[in-house]
Amino acid sequence: MVTQLLFFFFAACAGGSALAMVTRKNPVASAMWLIGTFFSLAAIYTLLGAFFIGIIQILVYAGAIMVLFLFVIMLLNLGNNLEADIRGTGWKVMAGGGGLVMLALLARVFAGDVPMPLGQQAGAAVLAAQQAERGTVGIIGIPLYQDFVVPLQATAILLLIAVVGAVMLAKRKV
Amino acid sequence: MQAGTTTTENLIELSDNAFVVFSAIKVLLVFSVVMVVVALLTLMERKVSAWMQDRLGPNRVGPGGLGQPLADGIKNILKEETNPAEANRVFFTLAPMLSIIPALVTFAVIPWAAPLPTPWGVVPMMVADLPIGILFLLAFSSLGVFGIVMAGWASSNKYALLGGLRAGAQMISYEIALGLSLMSVFFLVGNVGLDEIVWTQQRMNMWFALPLAVSFFFFWISSFAETNRLPFDLPEAESELVTGYHTEYSAMKFSMFFIAEYAHVLTVSALMATLFLGGWDIPGVGRDDMLGFVDGVWVGERPAVWITLLTFGAFALKTLLFILIFMLVRWTVPRFRYDQVMDLGWKILLPAALVAVMVTAATVLALDSFGVEMDRLYYGFVPLYGLVLTVVNVAMLVIVLWVMDRGQTLAGSGSLDEKRRVAQERARRRAEAMRVHLTTPRAGAR
């Protein structure tokens, strides 16, 4: 009961902050609202019993990536009241279409019986049992480095390519 | 040191109600102790600096100046607050709060003494025994930078903005080295709970400062950068940026930044004591080795009130040692140049920490596959596991220090031009020496 109430509270926080983040004109305010969203999400993960994911959400997204975001915003010293990126009918239609796809996906989830790609049941009870067996970090780490090694390495290479590309783009202008 | 030799039969876990009551007491206790210690640290800093510069330091308020923090606090609360007209009011007010809250929250997961037996059950001496332990601490201490960045941006002052930018870059750079140096601790412990980290060091009969010397060294450097203490105090940098990110702040808001800084120093010192100096472990004594309840079964020796008190004393001494070193360093070395900070973080600490992680992991793997047991004393007194790791780590540390000391990293050669100039100078001098050597007639050859 309390868990459910807390869930709805944090879900409302997450939705509200996400909305505020999109609607704010000031980029720094947007960034702060995004941090609020991350925190609410972390709280929801924690309520589900996934402590590790919750804390990594704060550690990586709120603690590292958003600091970089703020750093860039401040470095460019963007002022208030920037014009929106979405202008013209074409962009609006595309944005609306994206929103509709998102809604359709959500509707599919709420319709029930979503196939689990990992073949595992989700939920706090299953997580707690796994956690007792493998430890808080182990329930992520052991499957990640045993069952999903190839996808993990592929992602690592993808990230490396992105880094190299970023350096190339940055170098060209000098 | 043998665990479980004494009777542990009538030890019980706390009931839910007792847990709530004891947690509330612990929260209040830790909060007030941390605040008082932080206040005393400001005095200690001034006394230490006075001692190092052959002055007296504050000695007017109370006996030996002990009332000084109180007087400072009253002054700061009564002072007029100024708000710059150009500042963004909301973020300007939010910034000191954002910086003080993470600093105070992080102490919650640090165990400060052995578990305390009470009639209602055994109370673990930490506020929150979280399963994610140290990750919580890392996550929340990394949030402290938002306060600084926000303060710099909201002040609408170019010095403040520069300070905020520097803080952001510095935090990101050194967090990586900090996290990497923690990896090797996780290798040995196998989990992330701080109480388990203490327990592993007790079982190993060795504090991690020796078998993980390289990690200890890197963690120490990074923690200086993370707390913005000299030689890494570039976000403040009085001589270049007025006082950096808190230039526009006054009265209690200004004071909150300082409370946050000293709270960070306290937390990081306590953390280093826990990670690398055995936490509340008393060296050479097996009677205090205990972990707590694991699935309802007590692990370790029988707790006692006197053990709790003694171990708290040990923990306080170790923490104080690190705090003292923080202060001695501040009043000894000058500030780094900005490019030196970045060079040290990205070109030295990051690759070196990666290599150290790999070597330590390989050593641990080798030790495990040779069947060396972590908690066994060979021939009755040789902690083989720890000794092998110590040898490997000390060798790595010597190499790191040797490379750092070759004048290539820190001796004012950050820019390429300067490096080239130094190299040319060296070549010129060598050519000159060669010329002198060739043209000078040798003794006996005349």
3-state SS string for chain B: CCCCCCCCCCCCCCCHHHHHHHHHHHHHHHHHHHHHHHHHHHHHHHHHHHHHCCCCCCCCCCHHHCCHHHHHHHHHHHCCCCCCCCCCHHHHHHHHHHHHHHHHHHHHHCCCCCCEEECCEEECCCCCCCCCCHHHHHHHHHHHHHHHHHHHHHCCCHHHHHHHHHHHHHHHHHHHHHHHHHHHHHHHHCCCCHHHHHHHHHHHCCCCCCCCHHHHHHHHHHHHHHCCCCCCCCCCCHHHHCCHHHCCCCHHHHHHHHHHHHHHHHHHHHHHHHHHCCCCCCCCCCCCCEEEEECCEEEECCCCHHHHHHHHHHHHHHHHHHHHHHHHHHCCCCCCCHHHHHHHHHHHHHHHHHHHHHHHHHHHHHHHHCCCCCCCCECCCECHHHHHHHHHHHHHHHHHHHHHHHHHCCCCCCCHHHHHHHHHHHHHHHHHHHHHHHHCCCCCCC
Q: In DSSP terms, which residues pair with B299 in a beta bridge?
A: B292
Lowest mean pLDDT among A73-77, A102-106, A139-143, B358-362: A73-77
**pLDDT at position B2, please?**
43
Residues B112 and B202 in one domain: yes
Q: Which residues of B touch A68 (CB under 8 A)?
A: 168, 172
Lowest mean pLDDT among B10-19, B185-194, B253-262, B272-281: B10-19
Domain membership of residue B4 (yes or no) is: no
> Which of B320-334, B380-394, B419-433 holds the top average pLDDT?
B320-334
Domains in chain B, number: 2
Partner-chain residue, chosen from A52, A55, A74, that has the shortest CB–CB distance to B153: A74
Residues B398 and B422 in one domain: no
Give tens-digit pLDDT for B187-196.
888 777 888 8
Q: Which residues of B touch A74 (CB under 8 A)?
A: 149, 152-153, 161, 164-165, 168
Whether residue A174 has pLDDT greater than 70: no
Pairwise CA distance, residues B56 & B50, whole Å = 6
Residues A69 and A142 in one domain: no
Partner-chain residue, chosen from B132, B150, B191, that has the shortest CB–CB distance to A55: B132
> Which of A16-25, A68-77, A129-138, B79-88 holds the top average pLDDT?
A16-25
Residues B246 and B187 in one domain: yes
**pLDDT at position A13, please?**
92
Domains in chain A, number: 2
Residues B216 and B360 in one domain: yes
**pLDDT at position B269, please?**
92
**pLDDT at position A114, please?**
67
Q: Which residues of A touch B295 (CB under 8 A)?
A: 132
CB contact under 8 A, A67 and B142: yes
Lowest mean pLDDT among B121-135, B242-256, B370-384: B370-384
**pLDDT at position B160, please?**
85
The pLDDT-based confidence of B282 (bands split at 50, 70, 90) is confident
Q: Which residue of B has its CA nearest to A66?
A: B146
A33: containing domain = 1-80
Domain membership of residue B59 (yes or no) is: yes
Whether residue B4 has pLDDT greater than 70: no
Give tens-digit pLDDT for A56-82.
888 888 888 888 888 888 777 666 556
Give tens-digit pLDDT for A107-156.
887 777 666 655 555 555 666 777 777 777 777 888 888 888 999 999 99
**A135/B contact by beta carbon, under 8 A:** yes
Q: Do B344 and B173 contact (CB within 8 A), yes or no?
A: no
Q: What predicted TM-score, i.e. pTM, was given to this entire model?
A: 0.81
Whether residue B379 has pLDDT greater than 80: no
Domain membership of residue A26 (yes or no) is: yes
CB contact under 8 A, A70 and B168: yes
Residues B230 and B159 in one domain: yes
CB contact under 8 A, A135 and B191: yes
- Residues B247, B253, B254, B257, CA torsion sign: negative
Q: In DSSP terms, which residues pair with B69 in a beta bridge?
A: none
Q: Which residues of B touch A29 (CB under 8 A)?
A: 91
Residues B172 and B73 in one domain: yes
**pLDDT at position A117, please?**
54
Residues B384 and B439 in one domain: no
Distances, alpha carbon A131 to alpha carbons A49, A128, B132, B177, in Å: 9, 5, 11, 28
Q: Which residue of A has its CA nearest to B152?
A: A74
**A70/B contact by beta carbon, under 8 A:** yes
Q: For residue B231, say if its preceding peptide bond is cis, omega within 30 degrees of 0.
A: yes
Classify residue B226 as exposed, middle or buried by CB count within 10 Å of its CB (0-12, 13-18, 19+): buried
B425: containing domain = 418-446
- Residues B403, B407, B413, B417, CA torsion sign: negative
Chain A nearest CA to B322, separation (Å): 25
**A137/B contact by beta carbon, under 8 A:** yes
Domain membership of residue A173 (yes or no) is: yes
Q: Which residue has better confidence, A164 or A82?
A: A164
CB contact under 8 A, B168 and A52: no
Residues of B at the A interface, defined by Cβ within 8 angstroms: 88, 91, 130-132, 135-136, 138-140, 142-143, 145-146, 149-150, 152-153, 161, 164-165, 168-169, 171-172, 175, 186, 190-192, 295
Partner-chain residue, chosen from A63, A74, A77, that has the shortest CB–CB distance to B149: A74
Whether residue B398 has pLDDT greater than 90: no
Domain membership of residue B5 (yes or no) is: no
Whether residue B410 has pLDDT greater than 70: no
Domain membership of residue A99 (yes or no) is: no
Q: Which residues of B touch A71 (CB under 8 A)?
A: 149, 165, 168-169, 172
Mean pLDDT of all residues in chain A? Answer: 82
Q: Domain ends where: A51, A80, A109?
A: A80
Q: Domain ends where: A41, A58, A80?
A: A80
**pLDDT at position B333, please?**
83
Q: For residue A49, how far is the Cα from the chain centroid?
A: 18
**pLDDT at position A122, please?**
58
Residues B141 and B103 in one domain: yes
**pLDDT at position A120, please?**
55
**pLDDT at position A100, please?**
94
CB contact under 8 A, B153 and A67: no
Q: Which residue has better confidence, B170 or A113?
A: B170
ipTM of the complex: 0.74
Q: Which residue of A has its CA nearest to B136?
A: A55
Q: What is the CATH number of the domain that holds A62?
A: 1.20.120.1200
Partner-chain residue, chosen from A29, A54, A71, that has the shortest CB–CB distance to B165: A71
CB contact under 8 A, B172 and A55: no
Tell me the H-state helices in chain A: 2-23, 27-47, 51-56, 66-76, 88-110, 124-134, 138-146, 149-172
Domain membership of residue B118 (yes or no) is: yes
Domain membership of residue B134 (yes or no) is: yes
Domain membership of residue B7 (yes or no) is: no
Q: Do B325 and B216 contact (CB within 8 A), yes or no?
A: no
B397-401 own/partner pairs: CB under 8 Å, 24+ apart: B397/B213, B397/B214, B397/B217, B400/B214, B400/B217, B400/B352
- Interface size between A and B, measured as CB pairs under 8 A: 77
Q: Which residue has better confidence, B13 or B136?
A: B136
Residues B293 and B371 in one domain: yes
Residues B382 and B286 in one domain: yes
User: Residue written as tokens 């967090």?
Assistant: B175
CB contact under 8 A, A71 and B149: yes
Domain membership of residue A28 (yes or no) is: yes
Lowest mean pLDDT among A81-85, B176-180, B344-348, B372-376: A81-85
Give tens-digit pLDDT for B288-338.
777 777 777 777 777 888 888 888 999 999 999 999 999 998 888 888 888
Domain membership of residue A60 (yes or no) is: yes
Whether residue B185 has pLDDT greater than 80: yes
Residues B439 and B379 in one domain: no
Residues B106 and B178 in one domain: yes
**pLDDT at position B240, please?**
79
CB contact under 8 A, B142 and A63: yes
- Residues B419, B423, B428, B430, CA torsion sign: positive
CB contact under 8 A, B172 and A131: no
Q: Which residues of A touch B294 (CB under 8 A)?
A: none
The pLDDT-based confidence of B397 (bands split at 50, 70, 90) is confident
**DSSP structural state of residue A79:** -
- Residue of A70, A77, A127, A134 for testing the chain B interface, max B β-carbons within 10 Å: A70
Helix crossing, B194-204 with B158-189: angle to 10°? 50
